[in-house]
Amino acid sequence: MLTAEQLKTELSQFNGTENYYKHSLGFSYTDGINFLAENAECYWLLDAIGSYQHKLRLNPILRDFQLWLLVVGDSHEFIKPEARNMAVLTCWEDTPVLGVKPAVSQQIPFTDFPMSEIKIYLENKVLLLPDER
């Protein structure tokens, strides 16, 4: 597994994709997401995002675009895991705003995810890094 700094450096090099990978839960993902899943050993993150898609696609606002944010520890200004949890995964219609409730909030009891947070987009059934848009 890469360190947080190594992972950030490598992920910053993805700006577009040459390949799309199919996930069994009905979406595709890009080279950057594939690199993230392999090198941070976080295929579970793709599975977690995929597990909400049936419900979220019923919402016309979230059907075409979702912003997912995984926060590990208390690094984020206002998105923090509850007591006895290491991380929280949230889904938003747009940029997270204090006082606005996310569409999804899942507590993660344990993770060895190396970064303090990561932002991922699901756009038109494709999971991608923000710089791959």
pLDDT band for position 110 (cuts 50, 70, 90): very high
Q: How many domains does the chain have?
A: 1
Inter-residue long-range contacts of 31-38, CB under 8 Å, 24+ positions, other chains counted = 31/132, 32/128, 32/129, 32/131, 32/132, 33/120, 33/127, 33/128, 33/129, 35/10, 35/11, 36/7, 36/11, 36/118, 36/129
On the question of pLDDT at 75 being above 90, the answer is: no
In the prediction, which pLDDT does 120 show?
Answer: 98
Domain span at residue 69 reads 4-132
Model's pTM, two decimal places?
A: 0.94
CATH number of the domain residue 22 falls in: 3.10.450
Q: pLDDT value at position 1?
A: 82
- State yes or no: pLDDT of 69 exceeds 90: yes
